[in-house]
Amino acid sequence: MSTVLILADFVGKKASKTTAELATAGARIGEVSAVVLAPPGQGAECAAAINVGPISHVIVIESDSFAGNGVAAGADILAQVISLKNPVAVLIASHAFGKEIAGRTAVKTHSGIITDAVDVAADLSVTQLIFGGSTTVTSKISHGTPIITVRPKSISPDLVPASPTVETLSLLVSQSSKKATVTSSQPPVQGGRPELTEADIVVSGGRGTNGDFAAVEAFADSLGAAVGASRAATDAGWYPHSHQVGQTGKTVSPQLYVACGISGAIQHRAGMQTSKAIVVINKDPEAPIFEIADFGVIGDLFAVLPKATEGVNARKA
């Protein structure tokens, strides 16, 4: 049976749900081997974290270069694994790190690449949503080993328990991939909320918050949700850019997306319109975001959100 490589995706020391999503897409094509890029001495622990999804095999490579030389080292090793295992395709999570590693690996292996896939079929046809999600494109890579990045939350994961065989490879990062050294890095402050692209519920605020995200955060916390923001809010410095949802921010596809004081520009929709249910709170009944809402409240977010928070908290009590 053909092998499909997926690059295991981690949040801290836990395999993210995206790993199971990649495996689910990969299992349509062939037998899934997950590649784990681990710090020295942590390979076994990282491999043990790959315990969900249709994954038959885990390939572990340990190197201090993954932290010390960043994506260059990861792409170097992934290219070596491709040449050893000759997979029919490689699937990688479509976030900034994943896309950079995919691009570098494609160059190194002289392969075609497709980024931001929302689906991958058994015959390796890839679906993308482009022009802010208004156009659906289906394409296929015709050269080399197809390298495809898949948007988190696009594919419903098969959460079967996994007990893969584990193989450790001793591979060396080449000198040419060590030309830049990471001298320090600061992990993002999670603040106890779920990661934006991983969360089942996202509550986002826009210009309508007028810079006060307290009501948005309180509602998010009542639901155990992540907090997102429109670009108007992040550009104004009201919320960190790492929380921006949209074409030039993060793509989210949660079970529930609550847009508060956001007008629904096409660039914002591009990052959230595949959410399973969309709730809108906006005081302008003509706001375009109502066009994609499953449930809409015409009202002032500063009046609606505290009541909604109170209601959720009362039901929990």
Min dist. Cβ of residue 230 to ligand FAD (A): 3
Q: Does 208 bind ligand FAD (CB under 6 A)?
A: yes
Q: Does 246 bind ligand FAD (CB under 6 A)?
A: yes
User: Which stretch in 12-20, 180-188, 212-220, 230-238 sits in contact with ligand FAD by CB under 6 A?
Assistant: 230-238
26, 4 Cβ separation under 8 angstroms: yes
* Nearest-5° Cα angle at 176, 45 to 47: 10
Instruction: Find the binding residues for ligand FAD in span 263-292 (CB under 6 A).
Output: 263, 265, 267-268, 271, 281-284, 287
Residue of 152, 249, 254, 296 interacting with ligand FAD (CB under 6 A): 249
Q: Which of 133, 240, 255 is nearest to 198 (CA)?
A: 255
DSSP state letter for 2: -
Strand partners, 163: none
Q: Does 94 bind ligand FAD (CB under 6 A)?
A: no
Min dist. Cβ of residue 132 to ligand FAD (A): 9
In 3-state terms the chain splits into helix, strand, coil percentages (rounded to 5) of 30, 25, 40
Q: How far is CA 33 from the centre of its chain?
A: 20
Q: How far is CA 53 from the centre of its chain?
A: 16
Contact flags string 183-202 toward ligand FAD, x per CB under 6 A: --------------------
Which lies closer to ligand FAD via its Cβ, residue 160 or residue 298? 298
Q: How many Å apart are CA 98 and CA 113, to the nearest integer?
A: 12
Site for ligand FAD, rule CB under 6 A? 206-208, 230-233, 244-249, 261-263, 265, 267-268, 271, 281-284, 287, 300-302
